[in-house]
Amino acid sequence: MWKIKFGSGGEDPYLYSTNNFLGRQIFEFDEKAGTHEERAQVEEARHNFYKNRYNVTPCSDLICRFQDDEEITYEKADAAMRRSINFWSALQSPHGHWPAQNAGVMFYIPPLVFCMYICGHLDKVFNKHHKREMLWYMYCHQNEDGGWGLHIQGPSMMMCTVLNYLAMRILGESADGGLDNACSKAQKWIHDHGGAVGSGSWGKTWMAILGVYEWDGCNPMPPEFWFYPSIVPLHPCKYSTNLLYFFLTKMFCYCRLTFMPMSYFYGRKFVSEITPLIKQLREEIHIIPYKDIKWSKMRHVCAKEDNYYPHGKVQRLLWDCVYYLAEPIINTWPFNKIREKAVQRAMEHIHYEDENSRYITIGCVEKPLMMLACWVEDPDGEYFKKHIPRVDDYLWVAEDGLTMQSFGSQTWDCSLTVQALFAGNINKEIAAVLKKAHEFLKMSQVRENPPNHLDHFRHISKGAWTFSDRDHGWQVSDCTAEALKCCLLLGMMRSELVGEPMKAENMYDAVNVIMSLQSPNGGVSAWEPTGAPKWLEFLNPVEFLEDLVIEYEYIECTSSSIQALNLFRKSHPGHREKEVDKFITNAANYLEDTQMADGSWYGNWGICFVYGTWFAIRGLEGAGRHYNNCEAVRRGVEFLLETQREDGGWAESYTSYGDFPQQELMGVFMRNCMSHYAAYRNIFPNWALAEYRNLVPFPSTN
């Protein structure tokens, strides 16, 4: 039976942590765990999910929720006062956070399978139980037409269908095997829609690495990019050496760190060993014989299902110039010496990012790429060995199988949960729960900047919180703001109830990070400062994601930052007072300026207009702008009233119309990629119920 473990480093000499693995959550299969009834309960949940997979695609995270080992005593139930708060409190981990899935994207797990297969570690890292659950996840989320979508509720697309088909075959299924003929149905979908050459660019890259596609069919990803002088607009970072960023031209960090290892593989034209299985796959996914494919003509081919963000003529001309003019030159002597040094430079950056994320890396797309790059450099090296034990940090098991998360959402979910619980005004009764969460948040704050961060295109992180845990290392403005709010609120309570308050200097560090991410227009970005020109998005090389190249300001980040700094200035009125006041004023102006014509705001990280409007109004409220003195708030309220349903609730799906069942997807990134946030359906109802009870006068029996 699968069991979730917390804070386990084991005895692996290549696994290390800056924080004693606080917040680490991994799944292990225990042959002896659970009673017969409990194991039957898990199997029933798995099969129920499969039978209903076309009606309800996100999982309910039941395998994790079945594992509440803490006994609910009468005293604890009585103290919680409410069944909802009692239930959610009981699911708190021993570390103080609330474990929950953050996944749902269908191109996450296949590259990890490819990486382990290429490295010869597939059977070493994944046992039969891992493989069984990975296949189950693919079965459960295969569409009725045989393909897979970008996410678990999306229509079938070529890239995800090809990647999942290849993964199923590598995991042991035959070409006509799989549950309900999963493989043959997938192969038919691929052939009916033009073959694997229609995959998006990321799919082509992984296929080229695997050996079922040729590098000549990929648009260039030159590693010389890392040698360009910073005056070049496309360079990943441009900064002044005195730390004062001017006309900051920096790629979006996830784009930068995805193409970093891709450029390494492209520069080396690395191809894995061509095994008999790879030879079979070459013939299975293409509609004409592999040897007859004109690869150079495939570079711009993209299936209509994948082409969410079509490449324009200018971009195609750019890639053609690099492909036909620059690449032949750089690959001939003596210029090939530059290519060798560029590949080495890319690898140096990869090692830096690995070390400063404790080999978690920035996210699940980058993890298998960077891990494989370390193996290609040295199959027996320390770098690769340090990557292996961190694979478990990404895996999540539920009734729909085993998948790879974007990364953990420990800090984010904990911060929202604390505020939802705090809103219930029963803090003394749930003090033990709040204390554990308080300690988790205090211990999860990032304590240092990455060493020599400007030389590696990194922003400051000292004082920030990440989306997941401290080891991850990547600062996020709204995660920092929401965690800071919690620490400020809990710091107002008696220390004997919720622990000692956070030190003032640690709060000052958090404020520094938040304020460093405000743009001239008043908005707040997520990971790094903005500043790159918008026209660079026309060079977005990815067909299925939008707004990928540069960093932007976000409604949610701006709102969270206002709320946190407003609370901070009340408790620490003497610290950077004028700067904080100016920050809040400018941020509130940004929120008013970005309101849509119907009174709503666009939410970037949730679905979508109701979510964004909730954040925006809370942000304006934090700046002292409310219904009576702010037209934007009144318009926002009118939008909410006009969109309320007859049953009293609100509904919105990721397509911005129709119903919003409890288990529809609730997260989103890069405009069109949906994500499954399993904790939201517990956090927000609790929060709403508490606020309703606080604000609405009820009849009293007393």
pLDDT tens digits, 250-278: 679 999 999 999 999 999 999 999 999 99
For residue 128, pLDDT beyond 80:
yes
Rounded to an integer, the average pLDDT of 4-22 is 88
pLDDT in tens, 27-48: 899 888 888 888 888 999 999 9
Distance CA 85, CA 321 (A): 60
Tell me the two tokens of residue 695.
């604000």
Residue among 269, 257, 260 at smallest CA distance from 211: 269
CB neighbourhood size of 460 (10 A)? 20
Backbone angles phi, psi at 481, to 5 degrees: -65, -45
For residue 331, pLDDT beyond 50:
yes
Half-sphere exposure of 250 (CA within 13 A, CB side): 26
Distance CA 7, CA 21 (A): 5
Rounded to an integer, the average pLDDT of 611-628 is 97
- Sequence-separated contacts (24+) of 239-242 with Cβ below 8 Å: 239/454, 241/454
pLDDT band at 68 (very low <50, low <70, confident <90, very high): low
Residue written as token pair 């441009």? 238
> Which one-letter amino acid corresponds to residue 73?
T
For residue 234, pLDDT beyond 80:
no
> Which one-letter amino acid corresponds to residue 669?
F
- Say which residue, 85 or 493, is predicted with more confidence: 493
Distance CA 107, CA 187 (A): 17
**DSSP assignment letter at 409:** -
Pairing of strands 553-554, 524-525: antiparallel
Report cis status (omega within 30 of 0) of the bond before 183: no
Q: Do residues 551 and 254 touch, judged by C-beta distance below 8 A? A: no
Distance CA 116, CA 123 (A): 8
pLDDT of residue 246: 34
Pick from 309-323, 326-340, 686-700: least confident: 686-700
pLDDT of residue 247: 32
pLDDT band at 675 (very low <50, low <70, confident <90, very high): low
Rounded to an integer, the average pLDDT of 517-546 is 91
Query: Active-site residue numbers?
Result: 478
Buried/exposed 327-354: b ≥16 CB within 10 Å, e otherwise? beebeeeeeeeebeebbebbbebbebbb
**Secondary element (H or E) of residue 398:** strand 395-398
For residue 142, pLDDT beyond 80:
yes
Rounded to an integer, the average pLDDT of 653-657 is 50
Distance CA 6, CA 88 (A): 18
Tell me the two tokens of residue 99.
């474990």
CA distances for 408 relative to 17, 99, 179, 393, 435, angstroms: 16, 8, 30, 8, 21
For residue 702, pLDDT beyond 70:
no
Distance CA 4, CA 159 (A): 32
Distance CA 401, CA 399 (A): 5
3-state helix, strand, coil in the chain (%, to 5): 50, 5, 45
**Secondary element (H or E) of residue 183:** helix 182-192
Residue among 286, 67, 312, 308 at smallest CA distance from 191: 286
Q: Is 136 exposed, middle or buried (0-12, 13-18, 19+ CB in 10 A)?
A: buried
Pairing of strands 673-677, 667-669: antiparallel
Residue among 571, 618, 619, 616 at smallest CA distance from 598: 616
Rounded to an integer, the average pLDDT of 115-124 is 98
pLDDT of residue 295: 98
Pick from 64-73, 393-402, 438-447: least confident: 64-73
pLDDT of residue 125: 97
For residue 80, pLDDT beyond 50:
no
Pick from 48-62, 472-486, 583-597: least confident: 48-62
pLDDT of residue 300: 96
Distance CA 16, CA 24 (A): 11
pLDDT in tens, 382-405: 999 999 999 999 999 999 999 999
Please, what is the average pLDDT of the chain? Answer: 89
